[in-house]
Amino acid sequence: MKLERIHESVLPFVAFVGSLVLAVYSGLLIGNGQYKMLGIIFGGGFGLGALLILRERVWFLIPLFWGLAGKIPLLPVPFSIRQLVVLFALGSFLVLKAFKIVRRKPATGIVDFWLLVMLSYLLTVFVRNPVGVESLGFDRVGGRPYFDIAVAVGAYWVLSRVVATPKEAFMLPIFTVCVSAFEFVLNVVANRFPSTTGVLKMVYSGISVPVVWGDAV
């Protein structure tokens, strides 16, 4: 075998060994009931894989998962899937800009001006009435709307710096509907088979509680 072709054999071998070790470790976590650690591992793996595959198209994830407002209970974070995806896309985009992979600078328009005005006003409101977030350990609560606004601004900052190709613009609505159907399918299964609700809620919290019509009447 030529030396320059060694990496072609090494990479699949490393991937196979890594997958085998991950599978064994995941089995041990499941056996010990450590589902949160399992969620962290798979969440991190999904994020790294998405970044390596999408690269400068990581913005694609924001509209793709925007419809999923529920949480993943296995993850030890108080954020919804939508918020996690926006934070991940924002962080990834900042890294890509730091390495000059993304270079586009958007033109500033009237929308940016009004956004800055509204954010400045919200800042004055926050200074006059400071609040916090209960899930982060603050004494004062009520800061959830501020966090939601910050996430939305982050999504706007990323999306305003990309240009979708005609193919991406065509495929985006299709993929978005398919991802949103995930929540619909889980709700259908939970309502058709109420005994599965507890298990499904471990995967996704945005499942409506099945209604027993006899009890409702």
Q: Residue 217 has what pLDDT?
A: 39
Could you tell me the end-to-end alpha-carbon distance of the chain, in angstroms, rounded to an integer? 75
Structure-token pair, residue 76: 């030890």
Q: Residue 1 has what pLDDT?
A: 45
Ranges of each domain in the chain: 57-216
Compute how many other C-beta atoms are within 10 angstroms of the C-beta atom of residue 128: 7
Structure-token pair, residue 109: 């328009």
Whole-prediction pTM = 0.74
Q: Which of 149, 140, 141 lies closest to 115 in space, CA to CA?
A: 149
Spatial distance between the Cα atoms of 159 and 180, rounded to a whole number of angstroms: 20
Structure-token pair, residue 118: 């509204």
Mean pLDDT of 155-182: 87
Spatial distance between the Cα atoms of 31 and 54, rounded to a whole number of angstroms: 34
Digit-coded pLDDT (tens) for 174-198: 888 888 888 888 888 888 888 888 8
168 burial via Cβ count (<10 Å: 0-12, 13-18, 19+): middle
Q: Which of 164, 214, 208 lies closest to 186 in space, CA to CA?
A: 208
Answer whether 40's CB lies under 8 Å from 76's CB: yes
Sign of CA dihedral 94, 98, 100, 101: negative
Q: Residue 22 has what pLDDT?
A: 65
Length of the chain measured in residues: 217
Look at 129 and 36; give whichever has higher pLDDT.
Answer: 129
Digit-coded pLDDT (tens) for 91-115: 988 888 887 777 777 777 888 899 9
Tally of helices (H runs) and strands (E runs) in the chain? 9, 0
